Structure 1
Amino acid sequence: MRHAFPGGTPALDFPGTLRFRHRTEPREDLDSPESLGAWFREAGITVDDVPAGPDDLREALTLREAVHRLVRAAMAGEEYDRDALALVNAYARKPTPVPQLTPGGRQVEATVGQGLAYVARDVVVTLSGPDVPLFKECGNPECSQIFVDRSRGARREWCAMDPCGNKIKAAAYRARKRANGLLTARRSG
């Protein structure tokens, strides 16, 4: 699997395809039309990769950034950006992928537009639902993934243990070891 899905919903995972937004050079996971087509399959929206072209990718990236602005506004309790809201609502009105039962099992044929409509409808449901107060940004200072924290006591700190939680825990462990080593050296010296 090429893409990560730690957000808990496509409404958060889709904007998470631009990773490490805090860095001067974030990492783009939707770096080709093929990666966009694969994202729909990996997200469970379709069964197979969706054929996509360069215009589809540009369209998807525009929608992704609109979704990101809306999610950030919801987290901050701010008013939604009108253009972002209009774009998401326009996509939400479009037809979504339709599952079909075939002799070989479930099949979902879709266009990029239908996949984006699916994401937009999920954004509408997610941002108008009860989970908005559970949104958190990953505790890894380099990571910018937003996720729904449904953990007991809302104590989840990272979008996922691999790699963010493991990286932070390993760094803390090494820092403790260095501090203990310095304390031991000072005591013996």
Structure 2
Amino acid sequence: MIHEFPCGTRVLDFVATLRARRSEQSYEFLTDTVALDAWWLEAGVRTSGRASDEADLAAAVELREALYTVIWHRLNGEVLPGEALALVNERAQSSPVSPTLTASGVVRDGDPAACLVDLAREAIEILGGEEGALLRECSRPECTTIYLDRSRGHRREWCSMQSCGNRAKAAAYRARVRARVATP
């Protein structure tokens, strides 16, 4: 498995394919068409369909950035930017991935454009519905991952306990140890 899925929904995991956005050392997971096709498969967006080409990769990155812009503005209680909103709505209007039930399970067939339709529609449902209130950004300063906080008390702090949560707790522990050692 190449990709990580800590956000609670495919569209937010897709937006998180660019990590540490506000850092000079951001990390891009969608480096080429192979990585994009791997993401579709690993996320369960599709199980079959035409391989992605460079135009599909460019369209995916364009939608990802529009999604991030709209989601970030919703998260921060700001007016949704018109250009990004228009792109998300436009992408949602085409034909989505087609699921088919077979004897061996569900086959989700679609080209890369259909995959983007599914993600745009999912974003619209989250942002326009009650789940929009559950959007949170990881509290680790270097991380910019946005996730849905579906925890019981809605007090989740990190996109993932395995990565950011573990790092934050380890840093806090080291700081406490240094403070004890420094105290005469």
Q: TM-score range by the shorter chain?
A: over 0.9
Q: Which residue of 1 aligns with 2:98?
A: 98
Give the % identical residues. 42
Deviations 1:46-70 (A, max 9, x none): 1258611111100100011100110
For residues 140-151 of structure 1, what are the structure 2 equivalents within 5 Å? Answer: 140-151=140-151
Q: Where does 1:1-189 land on structure 2 (aligned, <5 Å)?
A: 1-48=1-48, 51-183=51-183, 186=184
Distance 1:170 1:83 in 2: 41
Q: CA deviation at 1:93?
A: 0.7
Q: 1:85 to 1:173 in 2, by over 3 A?
A: same
3-state DSSP class of the match of 1:153?
A: coil
Separation (CA, whole Å) in 1 of partners of 2:2 and 2:95: 27
Q: Distance in 2 between matches of 1:151 and 1:14?
A: 21
Amino acid at match of 2:58: R
Number of matched pairs: 184
Letter in 2 for 1:156: R
Bigger mean CA offset, 27-36 vs 173-182: 173-182
Greater CA drift, 5-14 or 136-145? 5-14
Distance 1:134 1:101, change over 3 A: closer
Gaps of 5+ in 1: none
TM-score by length of structure 2 reads 0.94
Structure 1 length-normalised TM? 0.92
Q: Which runs of 5+ in 2 are unaligned?
A: none
Deviates more, 1:163-172 or 1:37-46: 37-46
Take 1:12 and 1:104, find their aligned partners in 2: how far apart are those partners?
Answer: 29
